[in-house]
Amino acid sequence: MIRVITIEREYGSGGADIARKLAEQLGWQLWDQHLTDEIARHLDCESRAVEEHAERRDTLHYRLFKAFLRGSFEGSLNAPRLNLVDADCVRQVAERVVTAAAKSGNSVIVGRGSAYYLHDRPDTFHVFVYAPLEAKVQRLRAAGKSEEKAIELAETVDRDRAAYIKQYFDVEWPAARQYFHLMINTIIGDELVVQTIVNSIALLDKQSA
C-alpha cells in the first residue's frame, strides 16, 4: 500500500502547488518548506542557508576553498569552528530527514533528492511533473516574477538540479526509467494532475491487493 509520494519537478511547473493540493486532499503531511525547516533545525542554521544549497552544487570558488581547508593543517583546525553549511552537509541531513518522513508514512515529499533516497521503498509512489517553457514562465510571472527573470530561472534552475543529481546520485535527471512511476505535464491543470496521481495510486494499490 502506498504511504509516501515524492514529487520531483521542473522549476516553474507547479510542483509545490500540486504537492500542497495533493497533501490536502489526502490529509497527509506535506514536506516542502517543512522539510527545509527541519534540515535547518538539524544544522542549527537559518532556513535561507539551506535553500541556498539545496538541489544545487556549490560554486567552484567554494569547492576550491573547501579543498584548501581539507588540505591545510590550519584549515583542518578551524573548519569545525566555521560551522559551514554547504551542499554536502545539506544533502546528508536531507537524506536522514527524508528517510524519517517516509518511515512515519502518509507523507508528500517535494524534491530534495527524495525520489532517489526512497527509490527502493515499495510503499512509495514517485511522480515527476513538468511543463512547456511558456507555461512555466506564465506561472512564474503570476507569482510576481518579471518575464525576463522568469525565463532566466526556468532555464537555469533545472540545469543546477541536473548537475546536482548527477554529482550526488550519478544519474541523468530526471532519470525517468529508473525512478518515476508517473510523469505528467501540468499544462492540463493542477486539479487534474492531482486527481490523476490519486487515481493512479488507487489503481496500483488495488492491483497489489
Domain boundaries, the chain: 4-57+87-208
Q: Model confidence over 139-152: pLDDT tens digits?
A: 999 999 999 999 99
One-letter amino acid of 36 = T
Instruction: Indicate the pTM of the whole model.
Output: 0.85
Superfamily of domain 4-57+87-208: P-loop containing nucleotide triphosphate hydrolases (3.40.50.300)
Which pLDDT does position 84 carry in this prediction? 66
DSSP character at residue 111: S
Q: Is the pLDDT of residue 67 over 70?
A: no
Terminal-to-terminal C-alpha distance of the chain: 8
- Beta-carbon contacts of 44 under 8 Å, excluding residues fewer than 6 positions away, are 83
